[in-house]
Amino acid sequence: MLAYCDKIADLIHKSLLKFDPDGIVGFVNGVSMDLHPSDGYLVSTKKTIKVSDMNGNWYKVTIEEANDN
Protein backbone atom coordinates (compact mmCIF):
# COMPACT_ATOMS: atom_id res chain seq x y z
CA MET A 1 0.00 0.00 0.00
CA LEU A 2 1.37 3.40 -0.97
CA ALA A 3 1.80 6.17 1.60
CA TYR A 4 1.17 9.75 0.52
CA CYS A 5 3.05 11.62 3.28
CA ASP A 6 5.20 13.45 0.70
CA LYS A 7 2.24 14.72 -1.30
CA ILE A 8 0.19 15.70 1.76
CA ALA A 9 3.19 17.51 3.29
CA ASP A 10 3.76 19.36 0.02
CA LEU A 11 0.09 20.43 -0.14
CA ILE A 12 0.16 21.68 3.46
CA HIS A 13 3.46 23.53 2.88
CA LYS A 14 2.16 25.27 -0.25
CA SER A 15 -1.13 26.13 1.48
CA LEU A 16 0.67 27.72 4.43
CA LEU A 17 2.75 29.83 2.05
CA LYS A 18 -0.24 30.99 -0.04
CA PHE A 19 -3.34 31.19 2.14
CA ASP A 20 -3.22 33.34 5.27
CA PRO A 21 -6.04 35.91 5.15
CA ASP A 22 -5.51 36.96 8.79
CA GLY A 23 -1.74 37.45 8.47
CA ILE A 24 -0.94 35.08 11.34
CA VAL A 25 1.76 33.01 9.65
CA GLY A 26 5.26 34.48 9.87
CA PHE A 27 7.71 31.98 8.42
CA VAL A 28 7.23 28.55 6.90
CA ASN A 29 10.26 26.25 6.75
CA GLY A 30 10.57 23.56 4.12
CA VAL A 31 9.43 19.99 4.57
CA SER A 32 11.86 17.87 6.63
CA MET A 33 12.21 14.12 6.32
CA ASP A 34 12.63 11.63 9.17
CA LEU A 35 16.30 10.72 8.69
CA HIS A 36 18.69 8.76 10.90
CA PRO A 37 20.70 11.35 12.91
CA SER A 38 24.18 10.11 12.02
CA ASP A 39 23.87 7.85 8.96
CA GLY A 40 21.24 9.92 7.13
CA TYR A 41 19.08 7.07 5.83
CA LEU A 42 15.27 7.32 5.73
CA VAL A 43 13.78 6.07 9.02
CA SER A 44 10.09 6.51 8.18
CA THR A 45 7.77 8.35 5.80
CA LYS A 46 7.06 10.98 8.48
CA LYS A 47 7.44 14.61 7.37
CA THR A 48 7.55 17.79 9.46
CA ILE A 49 7.06 21.47 8.70
CA LYS A 50 8.01 24.23 11.14
CA VAL A 51 5.86 27.36 11.09
CA SER A 52 6.08 30.59 13.07
CA ASP A 53 3.29 33.00 13.89
CA MET A 54 3.46 36.78 13.71
CA ASN A 55 4.63 36.87 17.36
CA GLY A 56 7.63 34.64 16.74
CA ASN A 57 6.20 31.46 18.32
CA TRP A 58 7.15 28.30 16.46
CA TYR A 59 4.93 25.28 15.73
CA LYS A 60 5.67 21.87 14.26
CA VAL A 61 3.22 20.28 11.83
CA THR A 62 3.77 16.52 11.55
CA ILE A 63 2.46 14.28 8.78
CA GLU A 64 2.77 10.56 9.41
CA GLU A 65 0.87 7.38 8.74
CA ALA A 66 -1.64 6.64 11.50
CA ASN A 67 -1.62 2.85 10.95
CA ASP A 68 -4.64 2.45 13.23
CA ASN A 69 -7.21 2.09 10.49
Tens of pLDDT along 7-57? 999 999 999 999 888 889 999 999 999 999 999 999 999 999 999 999 999
pLDDT in the model for residue 13: 95
Our count of domains for the chain comes to 1
Residue 1 has pLDDT above 70, yes or no: no
Q: Identify whether 45 is part of a domain.
A: yes
Q: Identify whether 69 is part of a domain.
A: no
What pTM value is reported for the model?
0.85
Domain range enclosing 25: 5-63
Q: Identify whether 18 is part of a domain.
A: yes
pLDDT in the model for residue 3: 81
Residues 6 or more apart from 64 whose CB is under 8 A from it?
5, 34, 44, 45, 46, 47
pLDDT in the model for residue 69: 61
Q: Identify whether 68 is part of a domain.
A: no
- Answer whether 6's CB lies under 8 Å from 47's CB: yes
